[in-house]
Chain A
């Protein structure tokens, strides 16, 4: 029985009157004290016998798909429970991991290759034994190679899905032809002042600033021009959205007519019947997500779980739920009917048509650019 269930049963007894208030609070306090005292030493016990693995992801349909297709079968096969948590953003999650005890967090559904590099640089990576993850062979090599380049060969994650951050627009106000013709420039078109949105993420703002000034996002030569483009967008924008849910709400409610958007979220809006167009401009922002094993975790148990999560049935169910193509190689695995219709899907399995951020380049500029963006956003 896990701690949550224990607590719920205790609470139920208290609410039913089977337990007096003093005893209830006493037991809760004792449990808290015991947990606080044992935590620094829990990892040694955990090293001896693995009883649970913690997975953290984005929640929603993804977690439900993981629970049904991977976690429950994994628990049935191994007897190891999977505790799944959620996070609102990669930065917030990294802050949580950094303040935790080793082994407290095990596997995370991380965004981009940046995060992989950040975790690796902070010595939070491990070396996975790929022989224990046979389903990794079904994934597109192009995705794994990006991670190998950072950690010098071994992997601390398995690739899981990919997508793009393209331009989403309301077809009632902006035609497909206009969107295609203007590309990234649509986001700084003064005709749409007050109806433009954008993600509050500094990387995306700079990436699109580079596209708007005709520069290669992985080799920006005139950063001042990029900041000017970011300022131009800021002054025209109504809102910097901070989550996928907010992005969808702003577009669906007609608050904004054009913004960058995550391919899967825009596809979900289209599925709901909203007349929203989506294009990836030349050099549009491609990204991939991975399942990362954090240092201090029970490696073999995590490898086994990763293999369950990479099972084609699980990967496809998750992909169909979140509308992002899976990392599975479409030339080797039948991905069904829906996935080939998703935005950013690459039937060749090479991903040559997508531009990914160079992690060395972007992480090398992270400190300076993220701090400067904070100022530019506020009118500087």
Chain B
């Protein structure tokens, strides 16, 4: 089971992402953007990690989305292979038209706008630990395959452009109805509150992660690789004192592994 961890100029989370891939028992390697794209067919799954590909020039993910490896990834995705895009990886998937529906750019991840009590209180880059509620049924999406519906995960975010906006009529309704909304920002009790600080970036309907209709592609703004081990958790979380325990982000990578096993 071999996973390609994609590396574009400016990607900066590939090392911890590969650690996470290997720690759940998958094999993996970095796949640089300028390698022959055809070599992607030798992999069973793909992770596009976070960072600032091409320094976010033009807008986050825009330049990387035009690289030949992304065309090759589309072909691999069409075979049902799993792809997980994390943070900048999610932005690249959206700009490539791989999410939320293959073919068109149906949405944007715009600059964060934090709203509280009807007023804008912050804008732009923000990092914090957030709570996510798993919205999809288990087995619906490759990156949350083993996660039960309504499970809560504490995972960090760090981004300036994660605010889902769309002018596509009916898109959000369709995503909800077809189970493509995988994660929403919520409070520690699982309540989805549309305002900051629970909705950390102003995203439409507090959406933090999406899948494609087939479920093999997941894009999410939070970083599961940064909450893979319990020792990575913030000091106020009691699980940090039990460093041998898995962190909540581990389940995303375990899901990918299980998805590949089931669909092999």
Decide if A and B are genuine partners.
no
Residues of A within 8 A of B (CB): none
Residues of B within 8 A of A (CB): none
